[in-house]
Structures are given as structure tokens and as C-alpha cells.
Amino acid sequence: MKRFLSKLFSKLFLGILIIALQFGWFVYLTYSATTVNSAMNIVFQIIAVALALYVANKDMRTSYKMSWIFLILFLPLFGCPAYFIFGRSGLTKRTRLKMAAVIDRIKTFRAGDRSVEQALEADDFYAGQQSHYLTVNAGYPLYREDSTQYFSRIEDLYQQLLTDLRGAKQFIFMEYFIIEQGKMFDSILEILEEKAAAGVDVRLVYDDVGCIQTLPPKFYLTLEAKGIHTAVFNPFRPILSIIMNNRDHRKITVIDGKTAYTGGFNLADEYINAKQKFGYWKDAGIRMTGECVWNFTSMFLEMWDFIKGTESDYAFYRSASIPEKAVIAEKTSEPKGFIQPYSDSPLDHEDVGENVYLQLIEHAKKYVYIFTPYLIIGSEMKTALINAAKCGVDVRIVVPGIPDKKLVYLLTQANFAHLIQGGVKIYKYEPGFIHSKCFVVDDVYATVGTVNLDYRSLYLHFECGTFQYKTQAVAQVKKDMLETFEVSHEVTLEECQNKFLLVRMFMGALKLFAPLL
């Protein structure tokens, strides 16, 4: 009862209730006006048709269009206001202009090295194309690999992260979607507090909705009191607003501009399996060193300046990632791969995360192996996966065996039959929940980051990832994939077809509204 009451009176529940009441009142007023006045009803029907035509002509994914058009025409009293509040991806114009101003200031410090780009193009034409796309459309340059280390267990990454944090001398930047007090974060917080007291510039960004059930209200004041500079992304306010639809889903740690981490993990105990809710929690992360760290440093500073309204010394932080000449000379004899950290923003209407995935699938010759906690995809991604499989590419996708969200899991399973019929192999991770977001292709390409195969990650959230070509981590990702297949169950078409009729009908209905969830 105590747990139930705490959830009942939580900030999240009360906020959702207030928003639902506002939305219900708006719908009620519209309904009342249309039933009392027949002319008003005709006007509203015309508005619904006009809005549906407007959506049909918008430059957006087909599945996203169809869901909104169906909702607007079938339930206009609900669909029309819902579209204006939740359907328009991207923040407000004022917010977009604010972010654009930050990007304009920082982009001159993101100039790439043309000789590195040419070296990649000479080695692999398609990899060069992928890198060119990221350079031009995401704004992040390509680098030669210094060192990359992939972690298939966050328990191991966590220990290395603590070691690296203890060695920080100038600055520590951390940006996470979820932070929860417990073994993992408390041990990190202790180090951050010590470093801040020693004069290290310690900054932390967290998403307010991501942490709404895991941190006390105004937790940033507690952190500031410890000397940790804190910024809260898009604070939750219980009002009908499009801005609430976009979240900061990135996971970034930068230490002195020399070392960076990213991956699927947040700063909470389930990620290191200090507590278990859905069996064994499998996640992945990557540690990298060298000049490529600047991409993550600049991502963080961009978000920091956007939230705080400040202007960082980009020249200083850029110089921190430039290796000394002696270090360069020492490492040039060793052949290295290429790495390109990138970020995806809902503000520019460029679906970078999805396009990286699509291009990797389309360029695959032998295999595409994928880890994703959710498989809620549109027709473009389905077509790419099935076409690759039909061309003889070994396409395998690992999803959780134990779900964290049951409704979302039904949506994930709703895509199984069509993909399996097209030759794609689907595996369920039997030990528990897999939260990793990784691709590996043909022993040469890989990406490790925060981008799920679902609509929110692909279109609505701030995300980040790493495109890699022949790095040390590529083989490590593949090894993890092969070991994971061994402890996973391959889903058959018969399993999908043997589900109860009502369950399959419900899953089909969910697919219709999948882009809106």
C-alpha cells in the first residue's frame, strides 16, 4: 500500500493526470460546440480533412503519416488537438533558434581533416560515403582511431569508468537520460564531489522526465551544493506542450577531453545488475581515447550552452583533445581504423540515427547483427532488413527475452512474423532484458550508441552514437553478438502464428498507432 500511495502521489502520476485533465477539458469543449451547433460540426469536419491532407503532404515517414491521418479522420475530436500538441516533431521555433545560435558558434571548431577522409575513401568507398553523410548532415568530423574498447558488460565498464574519473585533472562532463541514487551513482558522485573540491570542472546534465521517478525534486540543488555544476534538460511541467515530447536520451562521459564513454547504459543499479527486475540486464558501452573525443566534448558543450544560455571556451576544450606530437609519432606505425562519434537532434528534421542504420544494412554483403531493446520500426526499416535478407545477407536481431514494458514488448513482437517471413532471424535473449543498441556488419563496420529501433529514438529524442570502420571494437562487438546468439532463442514463424487470435488482433491494432506511442 505504501508503494502504491507513493506512485499515486508521485510527480509523474500527478503531472500526467493534470495533462490528461487539460486535454479532456479541451476535447469536451470542442465536443460541446459541435453537438450544439451543426454549422460548427461541419466546420470541424472540414478542419479534420484539411489537417489530414496537410499531414499527408508533410515530409515525414509514411508510417508516421498514416497513424496520424487515421487518428485525425477516425476520431477527429481527439486526433486534431492531439496532433497539434504531440504530433509536430521538433521543439518550438524560439527553442530551435536558440539551439541554432549555439551550433553556429561551435561549428567552426568541428572542421575535419580532409586527409583522414581521403584515407577512408581510398580504403572503402561505402565507408567514405557513410562518413561524408555524417560530416555534412550531422556536423561531426571523422578521426583515425586511437583506442576503442567495447564492453559487453556494464559491470566491467563501471570499474574502468571509476578508474578514469579518479584520474581526471581538468574537467569531467557527464550527460545521462536516467540517474538513480544507489551503488552505481553514489560511488560516481563521491568521486565527482572529491574532484570538484580539488578544482576540477565537474558538470552534469540529466533529463528531467528520465529522472522523474528516480531522483528527488530539485536534485540539482543538492549537486550544486557539492560543487557539481548541473543542468536539467527540458524540465517537466504539467502543461499541454509540444516541447515535452522531446527528451535528451544521450549517454556521454568525457574526461579531460582525452577519454569518452557512450552506449546504452544509464547511471542506475540495474545497469550493473546490482539489482535485478527483468532477469539479467545486458547492456553495452564503448570507451574511446584520442582526438575523436572532441566530438563528444562538443556535443556536451552544445547541450550545456543551450540549457544554460552560456558560451563556453570552445578553443580551450578543442585543444584538450589534440594529441601531442610525441604521442602522434609513437602511434603512427600501428595500423588503426576510423571512428566518427555523432549526435542526432529532433530539431533539424534530419533522421541521422535511422539513416546510419539504413545505410549499414544496405551496404552489407555478408551479415548484419543487431542488438535492440525495442523493435518498433516503419516500412523503410522493415524493407531494408528484408531486402538484405533476400539478397543472401545473414540478418539477425536480438531483442529481450524478458520485457521491461509489456505494451511496448507486444509492439516489438508484432513485427516478428513479417520480418521472419522475409528471411530475417529474430532472437530472444533468454537470460533477461537486453538494452544494448549495437550494429556490426561484415567484420568492418559497427555502431555503438543510444539509438533504439523505435520511433521516439529515431525521430523525437536527442541521441548519440559512434560509426566505426575497422576499429579494435568492431571485432569485440561481433564476438559479443556470437556469444549472445548462443544464449538466445530463435523465434519461429509458427510461434508467431500460434498466438491467440485476440492477442494477434490487439497487436495489429497497436501497430496502427505505434508511431504515436
210-246 pLDDT, tens digit per residue, is 998 899 989 999 999 999 999 999 887 655 555 567 8
Question: Domain for residue 219, yes or no?
Answer: yes
Residues 159 and 256 in one domain: yes
Question: Domain for residue 338, yes or no?
Answer: no
Which secondary structure element, helix H or strand E, spans residue 446, and what is its range? Answer: strand 445-449
Residues 489 and 421 in one domain: yes
Model confidence pLDDT, tens digit, residues 169-194? 999 999 999 999 999 999 999 999 99
Q: At what angle do helices 62-74 and 38-56 cross, to 10 degrees?
A: 170
Residues 156 and 47 in one domain: no
Look at residue 500 in the predicted model and tell me its pLDDT.
81
The CATH code of the domain that includes 430 is: 3.30.870.10
pLDDT at 17 exceeding the cut of 70: no
Radius of gyration of the chain (CA): 23
Domain boundary residue, one of 71, 87, 103 = 87
- Which of 149, 170, 147, 172 lies closest to 159, judged by CA? 149
As a whole-number percent, the residues of the chain with pLDDT over 90 amount to: 65
Residues 159 and 306 in one domain: yes
The more confidently predicted of residues 515 and 299 is 299
Look at residue 31 in the predicted model and tell me its pLDDT.
60
Look at residue 310 in the predicted model and tell me its pLDDT.
94
Question: Domain for residue 94, yes or no?
Answer: no
Phi and psi, residue 214, nearest 5°: -115, -20
Average pLDDT over residues 329-348: 79
Phi and psi, residue 66, nearest 5°: -60, -40
Residues 295 and 371 in one domain: no
Question: Domain for residue 400, yes or no?
Answer: yes
In the chain, the number of structural domains is 3
Look at residue 154 in the predicted model and tell me its pLDDT.
98
Domain boundary residue, one of 68, 87, 106 = 87
Question: Domain for residue 42, yes or no?
Answer: yes
Residues 316 and 364 in one domain: no
Q: What does the block give as the cell for 30?
A: 470542442
Look at residue 34 in the predicted model and tell me its pLDDT.
63
pTM, entire model: 0.88
The more confidently predicted of residues 358 and 25 is 358
Q: Which domain holds residue 78?
A: 2-87
DSSP one-letter code for 492: P
Look at residue 80 in the predicted model and tell me its pLDDT.
78
Question: Domain for residue 466, yes or no?
Answer: yes
Q: How confident is the model at residue 325 (pLDDT cuts 50, 70, 90)?
A: low
pLDDT at 167 exceeding the cut of 70: yes
pLDDT at 89 exceeding the cut of 70: no
Q: How confident is the model at residue 41 (pLDDT cuts 50, 70, 90)?
A: confident
Measured CA to CA in angstroms, residue 503 lies from 338, 490, 499 at distances of 46, 21, 7
Look at residue 18 in the predicted model and tell me its pLDDT.
60
Pairing relationship of beta strands 201-207 and 367-371 according to DSSP bridges: unpaired
Pick the range with the lowest mean pLDDT from 59-73, 316-330, 433-447: 316-330
The more confidently predicted of residues 168 and 407 is 168
Q: How confident is the model at residue 511 (pLDDT cuts 50, 70, 90)?
A: confident
When the pLDDT of each residue in the chain is averaged and rounded to a whole number, the result is 88
Q: How confident is the model at residue 63 (pLDDT cuts 50, 70, 90)?
A: confident
